[in-house]
Amino acid sequence: NAGVMQNPRHLVRRRGQEARLRCSPMKGHSHVYWYRQLPEEGLKFMVYLQKENIIDESGMPKERFSAEFPKEGPSILRIQQVVRGDSAAYFCASSPEVQNSPLHFGNGTRLTVT
Amino acid sequence: AQTVTQSQPEMSVQEAETVTLSCTYDTSESDYYLFWYKQPPSRQMILVIRQEAYKQQNATENRFSVNFQKAAKSFSLKISDSQLGDAAMYFCAFFGGAQKLVFGQGTRLTINP
pLDDT tens track for B19-46 = 999 999 999 999 999 999 999 999 999 9
Work out the average pLDDT over A64-88.
96
Categorize the per-residue pLDDT at A59 as very low, low, confident or very high, splitting at 50, 70 and 90.
very high
Contact B44 A107 (CB under 8 A): yes
Phi-psi region of A15 (alpha: psi -120 to 50; beta: other; left: phi over 0): beta
Q: Considering chain B, what is the average pLDDT of its residues?
A: 95
User: What percentage of chain A exceeds 70 in pLDDT?
Assistant: 96
- C-beta of residue B42 within 8 angstroms of C-beta of residue B49: no
Q: State the pLDDT at residue A99.
A: 59
Give the B-side interface with A, CB within 8 Å.
Answer: 33, 35, 37, 42-45, 47, 50, 91, 95, 98-106
Q: How far apart are CA B103 and CA A45, in angstroms?
A: 9
Q: To the nearest 5 percent, what fractions of chain A are helix, strand and coil?
A: 5, 50, 50
CB nearest to A102's CB, from B35, B98, B102:
B35
Distance from CA of A61 to the nearest CA of B (A): 17
* Chain B residue with minimum CA distance to A55: B99
CA angle B82, B48, A45 (to 5 degrees): 130
Contact A43 B43 (CB under 8 A): no
